[in-house]
Amino acid sequence: MRGPHNILRLIRTFATLERTGAMDVVLEAFRAPPQLRLAARILGWPFAWLGYKGDPTQPPATRALTALGPAYIKFGQILSTRPDVVGDELALQLRVLQDKLPPFSTAVAKKMVEAELEVDVDSVFSEFSEPVAAASIAQVHNARLADTGEAVAVKVLRPKIEQAFRRDIDAFYLAARAIETLAPSARRLRPMDVIRHFEGVVMGELDLRLETASAAEFAANTVGDQGFSVPEVKWFLSSRRVMTLAWVEGVPSGDVPAIDAAGHDRQALGERVLRMFLLHALRDGYFHADMHQGNLKVAPNGDLVALDFGIMGRIDEYTRRVYAEILFGFIRKDYHRVAEVHFEAGYVPADRDVDEFARALRAVGEPIFGMDATRISMGRLLSYLFEVTERFGMETRTELILLQRTMVVVEGVARSLNPQINIWKVAQPIVEDYIKQSIGPKALARDLGRTAIVLSRFGPKLPQIAEAMLVRQSMRSEDSTPERRIHPALWVGLGGALVGAGVVIGMLL
């Protein structure tokens, strides 16, 4: 479907940007070169009358994307997680995008449930309500299981939403190719990579089996977290286009008057939001990456309940350790150690000056720590940190950008519940505990044990590997050129493998 016929879609897009006043905002945010600005004006200005008017009460970018429809709304939401691409100002505008759309009929939803689950809706559910929430991709119904009487939430994809998104994604690819062709200098923004990232996220959200799996994994990770819960997944009533979870009663975390009326401790809730996010990011390496107020409820018993698992973040263990050491270094104001961590992790090129980098980090940290405790922001600190590391040659790391964006959102939720919250006071024990568990003799012993276990899986192959290396060495023994000899690292690796295997054998014996 990617082809010239999508030009009409692009003309309508640029015409809407022009008509809503968003053209200048977008071009400036992307730092578009002159030739790209000219092409955008040619496609937009003469056809502005074809553009959608949108809601004039909204900011220009938000107004344009909302008018253009679901795919554009979702694209804007995802771009809001990439301030490295669109800049801080536009990212901030895009964060307020709401994808609330008119619902489709309950009759259609029931037919989709029957087709997907191969069941009779009236037999499975004793109650099936009108839509209680409708977004760009799906809508939610309140229902009750006929056999147990349990209340559940049934999420159903919009009819033909996959085809609609695919058409718009095809147009996005055409635009990305045009940008790379017309403005080679804009390739630094990696437009094709941005669209591929968007496509991956959206295609994942359009398969509710993946969201169901995310909810189940998140629930398993957090089952022991006091004061935090995830709705139970109903696998037998979930499929590609339908997802069923236990229904959760509660107050939206953004409804402060209702929270007060229910008698909940807002100070404790604000601290718990931040503490849980850090625990999930550091302890599990798997966190809710869309923890805004609409996706958090306060249950009658005071628990925080997470909803909507379409966007989740994952960080590998090594990156978590680096992230924790960076935060810990800032908490202790040990800027030289923070700089060393960046070099050790390879984030900053080795030819840069570590002392100069530490000095730049001090310029980031000191102004923030000089603020009143209630104004200190970890999200702002990470944002400034990325600006400095970019100047020193650090490549963009998408997982850290997503983490930083979520940190900003979580801080906003925490402060709305408890305006006097001290972010660092809440974060410090979480980070310190993780450091104790992940860095030090115990952590080293645990890592060596894991390494030995992995090496033991290759135990039967170790003799053949050793023999092959010895044969190659003997065949090349007369060749003294360095590139023809076995690299010493191979011998070290073989020795390590043998030692690891020995350790495992010793453990078994």
Which residues are known catalytic residues?
A: 290
Give the contacts of 12 (CB within 8 A, at least 6 positions apart).
47, 50, 51, 52, 68
Radius of gyration of the chain (CA): 27
Half-sphere exposure of 7 (CA within 13 A, CB side): 7
Q: 192-206: buried (b, 16+ CB within 10 Å) or exposed (e) per residue?
A: eebbebbbebbebbb
Q: Token pair for residue 98?
A: 């709401």
DSSP string, 89-105: HHHHHHTT-----PPPP
Question: Are 270 and 414 a contacting pair, CB within 8 Å?
Answer: yes
In sequence order, what are the beta bridge partners of 246?
A: 152
Buried b (16+ CB within 10 A) or exposed e, 243-264: bbbbbbebbebeeeeebeeeeb
The CB-side HSE value for 72 (13 A sphere, CA atoms) comes to 19
Question: Which residue in 334, 154, 144 sits closest to 242, CA to CA?
Answer: 154
CA 64 to chain centre: 24
Using DSSP bridges, classify how beta strands 286-288 and 296-298 pair: parallel, antiparallel or unpaired: unpaired
Region of 403 on the Ramachandran plot (φ > 0 left; ψ -120 to 50 alpha; else beta): alpha
- Phi and psi angles of residue 170, each rounded to the nearest 5 degrees, phi first: -60, -40
CA distances to 62, 83, 405, 409 from 92, in Å: 10, 8, 10, 11
Is residue 113 within 8 Å of residue 154, measured between CB atoms? yes
Q: Provide the strand spans (E) within 199-308.
A: 228-229, 242-246, 251-252, 286-288, 296-298, 304-306
Instruction: Please tell me the number of Cα atoms within 13 Å of 336 on its side-chain side.
Output: 1
User: How far is C-alpha 271 from the chain's CA centre?
Assistant: 22
Contact 242, 117 (CB under 8 A): yes
Nearest to 346 by CA among 382, 322, 327, 362: 322
Q: Which of 104, 126, 281, 135 is nearest to 206 (CA)?
A: 135
